[in-house]
Amino acid sequence: MTVDAPAPDHSSDTPAPAARTAHALKRLVIGQALRSEDLGRTLLPKRLALPIFASDPLSSVAYATQEILLVLAVGGTAFLYLAPWVAAAVVLLMAVVVLSYRQVVHAYPSGGGSYEVVRSNLGPNAALVVAASLLVDYVMTVAVSVASGVDNIISALPSLAGHRVSMAVGFVVLLAAVNLRGVRESGRAFAAPTYLFIGGILLMVGTGLFRVAMGHGPVASSAVFGIVPVTGKDSLTGLGLLLLALRAFASGCTALTGVEAISNGVPAFRVPKARNAATTLAVMGTAAVAMFAGITVLALTAKVHITDSACRLSGFPGDCHTAAQPTVIAQLAAAVFGGNHSMLFYGIQTVTALVLILAANTAFNGFPLLASILAEHRYLPHQLHTRGDRLAFSNGILALAVVAAALLWIYDASVTSLIHLYILGVFTSFTLSQFGMVKHWNQVLATQADPRARRSTMRSRAINTVGACVTALVLVIVLITKFTEGAWLAVVAALLLWTTMPGIHRHYDRVAEELAVQDPHADSVRPAQIHGIILVAKVHKPTLRALAYAQAFRTTTLTALTVSVEPDATARLEQQWADFDIDVPLHVLDSPFREVTRPVVGYVREFRRTSPRDAVAVFIPEYVVGHWWEQLLHNQSALWLKSRLLFTPGVMVISVPWQLTSSHHADHPARRAPGTVRRGEPHTLASLATVRERPPSGL
């Protein structure tokens, strides 16, 4: 029978003001803890799932066009005519990938996305390649999205350029805090900016194209600048021109990042889960294609000129070495809505910056979910599979935030520097998952007899076959064009993860095999005798409590043990022992080199050598203090002794705590409970200080 645990009674506890303040701050940021059975209430309707899982691919349109133009600008304005063809290829690829992942959602509604597809059809090694690639790509999603959002803020407010890194790291911390409140809470917080961004971009594109149709189209502020080519038009022909177009295509493929997140998060949808997830995928794909195509057409019509360095813009005003170029979105908004001081311009910049920063939320949902699945399969530490107070995978969220913030700091929150590490992982997962789906449909066809069902399956297989071939081609293009520009770092990171995860899995397997019960009788043999040893530094209340506790165990033998570091102190201890008439023999170990740990460990191990069938119980009196600084005032011999004794078979180490007055006003006991630690909350271990008051007295 299972019953609910009673609510803990803390009426007698009086937490310190600092502890109360910290707890109140935590609840303000994260919210009240939820019970496990409340998990069903966190399931998402489609209107909240879209901003949570699709904010990354939707927001990618804000810089995908810009990345294409940056690459083509290597030849000045001579190669900008390739932009429509490159954009068309990106649109076609996006359609193929969205259709392919709709097949994944219906075939694998349990979640896991690419990882689960590849694991089921291509085996664990290929699945770990996908997992490692996606984990790296999720980190890059946070870094690139936040850095791009900060770029748009600086485009509107150039005076903030000197605070780029601190702003970026601050936004990562904010995103982590919101996601720690739970999936549903983050969806509510992020829904409005995402929908305002979609509406704002479509309004800008519609207004701009209407003005073009009326014969007075918008003109970008950079249209008057020329572009100094890095290479001449005549120097790039044939294969060189093809490689330039492929490189621009690879950069434009950033618009596809995050598409797989919905397939990973199917369990987070309301029922019918698969159908709702597929519908959300379709809406996301349609909106992303419309915005990306519109921005590209408008940018070319308005003659937007943008380069990797403002010094390559002939006629650029001011200091080109320090001045920041406005983003493509900023230039289009200013051209369409009447300048960079109009309300609609600031509105577009605001929602664009917000949605780019919030696009990292896709990774804050995808990374913890995937890490949780990998932890469940024993490829990552088990702590990543546990849920926090708000039923979110808190440890995964915190790990992602720390690594992404470190990348932003290392690369100065530069989109140009970070973008080269991007999209390699996502296309690795795209390609392998599509090949996995082809194998899945082949297996289904082998068992199907109904002609209608077979036609449907063959259609699905055809979609995934096309998706596999196209994404494999893109993966090769991305690898060739971006490897030397920094993508090799992402490859190295993924390889390190790929080699580490099997090692973790083997460790868990070895531990499980070692701990498995083979013979209940042989594995539960009782020791012939139990010898009790009490470690003593001096005669005081903690020592007497440990003595009483040890005597209650009724061990076969019981000995008090002290180490003689200073003869006078040892003599006083022996005299006190006799004066108090303690009926437990006191054994003194001589230590001419003033060591404490080695003589005690040697004495205990001697018991094991002489009586291997016996067990030894070592009782250690310990202080429990209430403040961290008090731990610095007490010797840590107990910690060293424990660390050595725990490696000795047949030895049990038993702590007998003595709570000092300061511990009575320490942090709430419930906040240090094992359950709290298991959920990954910060906790402070009780002090394991020795009972000795002065160095000569032994322990």
Is the pTM here over 0.85, yes or no? Answer: no
Per-residue pLDDT reduced to its tens digit, 53-71: 777 788 888 878 988 998 8
Per-residue pLDDT for 487 more than 50? yes
Q: What is the pLDDT of residue 29?
A: 55
Lowest-confidence segment of 112-121, 624-633, 690-699 by average pLDDT? 690-699
pLDDT, average across residues 520-538:
83
Q: Which of the two residues, 639 and 541, has the higher pLDDT score?
A: 541
* Cβ neighbours around 456 below 10 Å, total: 14
Q: What is the pLDDT of residue 405?
A: 93
Phi, psi of 564 (to 5 degrees): -90, 105
Q: Which of the two residues, 328 and 626, has the higher pLDDT score?
A: 328
Lateral strand order in the sheet of 586-590: 586-590, 557-564, 530-535, 615-624, 651-659
Per-residue pLDDT for 680 more than 70? no
Per-residue pLDDT for 241 more than 90? no
Q: 243, exposed or middle or buried, with CB in 10 Å at 0-12, 13-18, 19+? A: middle
pLDDT, average across residues 371-379:
90
Q: What is the pLDDT of residue 404?
A: 92
Per-residue CA distances from 371 to 76, 129, 205, 378, 393 (Å): 44, 14, 39, 10, 9
* Cβ neighbours around 660 below 10 Å, total: 18
pLDDT, average across residues 108-128:
86
Lowest-confidence segment of 297-311, 313-327, 333-347, 539-553 by average pLDDT? 313-327
Per-residue pLDDT for 417 more than 90? no
- Across the chain, mean pLDDT equals 80
Lowest-confidence segment of 414-428, 481-495, 575-589 by average pLDDT? 414-428
- Please check whether residue 65 is in contact with residue 329, taking contact to mean a CB–CB distance below 8 angstroms: no
Per-residue pLDDT for 466 more than 60? yes
pLDDT, average across residues 104-113:
79
pLDDT band at 670 (very low <50, low <70, confident <90, very high): very low
pLDDT, average across residues 183-192:
65
Q: What is the pLDDT of residue 590?
A: 87
Q: What is the pLDDT of residue 389?
A: 61
Buried b (16+ CB within 10 A) or exposed e, 207-223: ebbebeeeeebbebbbe
CA atoms within 13 A on the CB side of 297: 21
Cα–Cα dist 244/70, whole Å: 11
Q: Which amino acid is at 424?
A: L
Q: Which of the two residues, 132 and 182, has the higher pLDDT score?
A: 132
Q: What is the pLDDT of residue 669?
A: 46
Q: What is the pLDDT of residue 28?
A: 55
Kindly report the length of the chain.
Answer: 699
Q: Which amino acid is at 468?
A: A
Q: What is the pLDDT of residue 231?
A: 62
Q: What is the pLDDT of residue 260?
A: 78
pLDDT, average across residues 224-231:
79
Among the listed residues 354, 345, 489, 372, the one whose alpha carbon sits nearest the alpha carbon of residue 424: 489
pLDDT, average across residues 105-112:
79
Q: What is the pLDDT of residue 391?
A: 63
**Six token digits for residue 679:** 């959920």
Q: What is the pLDDT of residue 75?
A: 76
Q: What is the pLDDT of residue 13?
A: 47
Q: Which of the two residues, 313 and 197, has the higher pLDDT score?
A: 197
**Six token digits for residue 617:** 């119980």
Q: Which amino acid is at 569?
A: A
Q: What is the pLDDT of residue 126?
A: 93
pLDDT band at 42 (very low <50, low <70, confident <90, very high): low
Cα–Cα dist 683/668, whole Å: 11
pLDDT, average across residues 102-123:
84
pLDDT, average across residues 143-149:
85
Query: To the nearest whole percent, how much of the chain has pLDDT over 90?
Result: 23
Residue with tokens 């664009």: 352
Cα–Cα dist 397/371, whole Å: 10
pLDDT band at 3 (very low <50, low <70, confident <90, very high): very low
Scanning 516-552, the segments in alpha helix (DSSP H) are 541-552
Per-residue pLDDT for 562 more than 80? yes
685 DSSP assignment: P
